[in-house]
Chain A
Amino acid sequence: MLGKITSFESMGSADGPGIRLVLFLNGCLLRCKYCHNPETWCGGGELKDVSAEEVLRLYNKYKNYYGEKGGVTFSGGEPLLQSAFVLEATKLLKENGVNVAIDTAGVAQDYLEVLKLVDLVILDVKAVDEAEYKFITGREMADFNRFVKDCQALNKKLWLRQVIVPGINDDEEHILKLKEFASKLKNVERVELLPYHSMAKSKYEKLGLTYELSNTDDMSKEKLKQLQNLLK
């Protein structure tokens, strides 16, 4: 079973605990306005095939840096769209004592086996409001809601994340709603706000896609900090 990745990062320090090998898997059903990896939508970039063994081999090359806290994170794109591969790789990694996380938006099928095995789910909460979810992602919220329920049923450790975009969700009201959403869930270890940045713009140009947020400024770090404080 081979997985299709667009790239990997040997020093992922923002996607799960410690320093991690982050694999960016191809494919996603969402079309978020601010997506910074649009190459994963359609395999527009150059795709590489990797096997579970290859993932373990990569991990071993850098495990000196990862220490006990770090590990492997499957990101993307939506990693759970390749759940058979992720399952095989996760099994192999877990057999070797590696900490495994998935960075997901929860919009996929057949993910339960993977979900059972992983140590952490980094869940991208696009929005907590139905209309806004659709506005940002172009899709209904039902899959996401079901995924959250599955995580809860399996008692999965959760890191919730939301990308904060000026003019879309960078106000107190939005953050407080997110806070309320998080408070109703168990096993939430953190809620992180990620600042929107425009660094992906050139990727869109390269892929011949329209960048809808070309008039949106990068999220100010100070403002993000203020909003993050609301979550305390």
Chain B
Amino acid sequence: MEQEIYENAWRGFHGDNWKEEIDMAHFIARNFTEYKGDDSFLEGATAKTKAVWARCEELLAEENKNGGCLDVETNILSGINAFAPGYIDKDNEVIVGLQTDAPLKRIVNMYGGTKVAMKALEAHGYTLNPEVYRHFTTYRKTHNDGVFDAYTPAIRRARSNGLLTGLPDGYGRGRIIGDYRRIALYGIDKLIEFKKKDLEGEFIDGHYIEESIRIREEVNEQIRALEEIKKMASSYGFDISRPAQNAREAMQWAYFGYLAGAKENNGAATSMGRNATFFDIYIQRDLEEGTLTEAEAQELVDQYVIKLRLIRHLRTPDYDELFAGDPTWVTESIAGMVSETKSLTTKNSFRFLNTLINLNPSAEPNLTVLWAKGLPENFKKYCAKISIKTDSIQYEGDDTMRPLYGNDYAIACCVSAMKAGKQMQFFGARCNLAKTLLYAINGGYDEKTGKFVVDGLEKNTEEVLSYETVRKAYSDAIKKIAKIYVDANNIIHFMHDKYAYEASQMALHDTAVERLMAFGIAGFSSAVDSLSAIKFAKVKPIRNEQGIAIDFETTGDFPKFGNDDDRVDSLAQELVQEFYDAIASHRLYRNAKATLSLLTITSNVMYGQKTGATPDGRKAGEAFAPGANPMHGRDCSGALCSLNSVAKIKYENCCQDGVSNTFSIVPSALGNNEEEQIDNLVSILDGYFVQGAQHINVNVLNRELLIDAMNNPWKYPNLTIRVSGYAVNFNKLDRAHQEEVIARTFHEKR
């Protein structure tokens, strides 16, 4: 009987390895159908989808009117099974499941920290049931409590002066992608069976007593979480103990897995993984069996995407300001290659992008195309067409990442690659390297607060800064600050595992999971241009009575990052490598491998506000460029020079958590008509990625349109732009972000 269930669920599927042990990559490679045709097969939204989406649009408008938060559940705390089932429009929903019992109603999660949760509640005018609060705070310690028990004085100083910012020490760390596909292919019971097998060893490894005890505890937590997911699904009337029998079930099963993670955790970025091509295997089988039509297939994808668009977490206004809007980074990775010559493009790769037309453009889910030279030309053109039309796709270099992560990795958040179900990431926020340079000049004192922050650095007293002296002091500062930064992240993730473990997401990983610890840089191009100014021009510090350089007088010209000029681009390459090496020289918690990103999302604005004037001519408080972008207005020979400069930054074993580049362009600068614009965008993407580049956001927009949107936000309710690794709703940006986006280099033709 039981055997029959599996045989039926796996009817027509090829290969055997994946039946014996979990091997999604193998299953997909053996069973997917590559599609090289064009977009003419695509269908519009069905009546059911239209009805559900119309209701959602009403709710979204209400949420917007209500200050960005529609409702909060104040009597129950987070948990996989804490909430009764909820629906949008039950009769018309073909994929079901909400985080709470009603759409857009947010969850209070206190495991990361009570302070942030309470602040968020207060900001939105809600009060938690006092009994619930009393019980939780009486009996439970949080991640945040643990972290602050262990933080060193140096970390506290670095944190409060804005040298390290955005550390996930008061809420969920996120960036963990459960392999939700596993539920569809194997069913929960088989996954539990596999996990139980992992527990069969009888002894604790004497060399790693703590780690081996902990693994046993965690796997049992994972098994309980799997049982909980099953229970949650059954509250919606589905038995996911068994594998999915068809496309609708496959998508529903996987979504339940994702949903469990979004009920249990509130991590900043809770991404979806790489599902489209996997789902296509089921859709293709249903189409061939005659049980599904193309319109119904699109309906499943549209409705699945609607669900992802409704994911919400309770955030504080600070958080919304930092990340500009209310992002969730439900990133879905699309296409890429299975081998040198065959792509993973399926009809479902098209269907996912088609949701941007059927439902309207949207920032979520964060649709990410894994671009490769070998992708079918028709798909490339379709991507470019949708980019130009909706501005809601980001691109990442599959030929750059595949050699390091294999052919079944997925992107978390914006640019973080990890092998699906086999690697997880400890998210480690950012260190401000422009401020680090100022500390190197100011002997570890903060240029804004005047406070002492980093020990053991010498104050520069030169009238005109000499490159040799400053560069050496910078290296010293980088070493010292890297250690403080590593300490902070070791503590954070130790405590997060202890007090806010993501059992449901980790249950969908191999037990022997590889861990990456992702560090980051902010203020990159400003730091690089400052070094160049000191090296090639004349930089005089203007010091206050405390001897701190609060401004700089820079005379003479100097090469600037973003002009494809090796004199300065080499300084950029050297700086990332040096910072990575300084981080990687330290031991990391749970033997994680260090990775590094040039990604600020939108926090470049806030980081800039907290940083004094820099030698490159950037004024105190002025925004940094996002991610790896050159400072705006400093590239003078067109967009490709700027792309080339960024493409020079090394990915492998250097910036291997991602090099984020935002590219804004007005349509007319891409070509004179739609066909040319599409062809040219394809050429740009090909040309960029063939150089080993990793990421690009493509903003195709008009400056006039943006200025108008800033002044008349109500006219553009759906205007989506891309900001460093992420598409945001322009209207959700605050004024400072809007102005920054407009000021950023627009590549208009002469």
Instruction: Name A residues whose Cβ lies closer than 8 Å to a Cβ of B.
Output: 7-14, 18-19, 24, 36-37, 61-62, 64-67, 69-70, 192, 199
Contact = CB atoms under 8 A, between A and B. Distances in A.
A36 B636 CA distance: 17
Contact of B680 (A13, A36, A199): A13
A37 B683 contact: no
Contact of B686 (A7, A24, A64): A64
Contact of B637 (A8, A18, A19): A8
A64 B638 CA distance: 15
B639 interface: yes
Interface string B634-664: 0011111101100000000000000000000
Given A9-B749, A13-B669, A37-B750, A61 B683 contact: no
Given A9-B750, A11-B640, A13-B676, A64 B690 contact: yes
Interface in B371-430: none
A13 B690 CA distance: 20
A10 B686 contact: no
Contacts of A69: 679, 683
A19 B641 contact: no
A69 to B, nearest CB: 7
Nearest to B687: A65
A62 B639 CA distance: 11
Contacts of A10: 564, 637-641, 644
Given A9-B638, A70-B683, A62 B668 contact: no
24 contacts: A7-B636, A8-B638, A9-B638, A9-B749, A9-B750, A10-B564, A10-B644, A11-B638, A11-B640, A12-B638, A12-B749, A13-B749, A14-B672, A18-B683, A19-B640, A19-B680, A19-B683, A19-B687, A62-B644, A64-B686, A64-B691, A66-B683, A69-B683, A192-B672
Contacts of B750: 9, 24, 36-37
Contact of B684 (A9, A11, A37): A11
Given A9-B638, A62-B640, A14 B669 contact: yes
B533 interface: no
Most buried by A among B683, B686, B688, B690: B683
A10 B564 CA distance: 10
Most buried by B among A7, A13, A192: A13
A160 to B, nearest CB: 14
A5 to B, nearest CB: 11
A11 B644 CA distance: 12
B83 to A, nearest CB: 50
Contacts of A11: 638-640, 669, 684, 747
B705 to A, nearest CB: 12
A24 B638 CA distance: 13
Q: What 3 pairs across the A-B complex have the smallest Cβ distances? A: A65-B687, A10-B640, A64-B687
Given A66-B687, A67-B686, A18 B639 contact: no
A18 B749 CA distance: 14
A18 B683 CA distance: 8
A14 B668 contact: yes
A18 B686 contact: no
Contacts of B687: 19, 62, 64-67
Contacts of B669: 11, 13-14
B637 A65 contact: no
B671 interface: yes
A18 B640 CA distance: 14
Nearest to B639: A11
B637 A13 contact: no
B344 interface: no
B192 interface: no
A65 B684 contact: yes
Given A14-B669, A36-B750, A192-B672, A67 B637 contact: no
Most buried by B among A9, A62, A66, A67: A9
Most buried by B among A8, A62, A65, A192: A65
A18 B675 CA distance: 11
Most buried by A among B640, B676, B691: B640
A38 B683 CA distance: 31
A218 to B, nearest CB: 10
Given A13-B749, A65-B640, 15 more contacts: A8-B637, A8-B638, A10-B638, A10-B639, A11-B638, A12-B638, A14-B671, A24-B750, A61-B644, A62-B640, A65-B683, A66-B683, A67-B687, A70-B683, A192-B672
Interface in B680-701: 680, 683-684, 686-688, 690-691
A145 B679 CA distance: 35
Contact of B683 (A8, A36, A67, A192): A67
B670 interface: yes
Contacts of B637: 7-10
Nearest to B683: A67
A36 B750 CA distance: 8
A13 B691 CA distance: 20
Nearest to B747: A11
Nearest to A194: B672
Contacts of A61: 564, 644
A65 to B, nearest CB: 3
Contacts of A37: 750
Contacts of B749: 9, 12-14
A36 B669 CA distance: 16
A70 B686 CA distance: 13
A64 B564 CA distance: 14
Nearest to A24: B750
A8 B564 CA distance: 13
A18 B641 contact: no
A129 B671 CA distance: 30
B684 A19 contact: yes
A202 B643 CA distance: 27
B82 to A, nearest CB: 52
A49 B157 CA distance: 52
A36 B638 CA distance: 17
Nearest to A8: B637
Nearest to B672: A14
A12 B670 CA distance: 8
Contacts of B670: 13
A70 B640 CA distance: 14
Most buried by A among B680, B690, B691, B747: B680
A213 B347 CA distance: 53
B736 to A, nearest CB: 26
A190 to B, nearest CB: 9
Contacts of B671: 13-14
B143 to A, nearest CB: 46
Interface string B734-750: 00000000000001111
Interface in B695-750: 747-750
B211 to A, nearest CB: 46
Given A9-B749, A11-B638, A14-B671, A65 B686 contact: yes
A66 B639 CA distance: 13
A24 B636 CA distance: 14
Contacts of B641: 10
Nearest to A65: B687
Contacts of B643: 65
Given A9-B637, A10-B638, A65 B564 contact: no
Nearest to B685: A65
A65 B688 CA distance: 7
A151 to B, nearest CB: 22
Contact of A18 (B644, B680, B747): B680
Nearest to A190: B672
Nearest to A36: B750
A66 B691 CA distance: 13
Contacts of B680: 13, 18-19
A188 to B, nearest CB: 16
Given A13-B669, A36-B750, A18 B638 contact: no
Contacts of A62: 640, 644, 687
Interface string B173-217: 000000000000000000000000000000000000000000000
